[in-house]
Amino acid sequence: MTETPRKPLAGPAAALEAKILDRSALAGVIGLGYVGLPLTVELGRSGYSVFGLDNSQQKVESIGRGECYIPDVDAELFANLTSQQKLTASTDDGALGDCDAVSICVPTPLRKTKDPDLSYVIEAAEALSRRLHPGMLVILESTTYPGTTEEAILPVLERSGLKVGEDFFLCFSPERVDPGNERFSTRDIPKVIGGVTETCTRLGELYYSQVMQQVVPVSSTAVAEMVKLLENTFRMINIGLANEMALMCGHMGIDVWEVIEAAATKPFGFMPFYPGPGLGGHCIPVDPHYLSWKTKQAGYEPRFIELASEINGKMPARVVETIQQALNRDKKAVNGSRIHVVGVAYKRGVSDVRESPAIDVIGLLGQLGAEIGYSDPFVPRLRAGELELVAEPLDKAAGAADCVVIVTDHAGVDYAALAARAKLVVDTRNALKGTPGDHIVRL
Residue numbers annotated as active site: 283
DSSP state of 151: I
Task: Name the nearest CA neighbour of 148 among 33, 72, 55, 225.
Answer: 225
* Residue-wise burial string across 304-318, b where 16 or more C-beta atoms lie within 10 A, e elsewhere: ebeebbebbbebbeb
Nearest to 157 by CA among 169, 145, 174, 166: 169
H helix intervals, 168-302: 198-209, 221-252, 256-263, 287-297
CA nearest neighbour of 144 among 293, 365, 317, 313: 293
User: How would you classify the pairing of strands 215-217 and 440-442?
Assistant: unpaired
Helices (H), 67-149: 75-83, 119-129, 148
**Pairing state of beta strands 403-406 and 440-442?**
unpaired
Residue type, 43: L
Distance CA 70, CA 186 (A): 13
Residue type, 347: K
- Name the 3-class secondary structure at 427: strand
What span, in angstroms and rounded, lies between the C-alpha atoms of 24 and 45?
A: 14
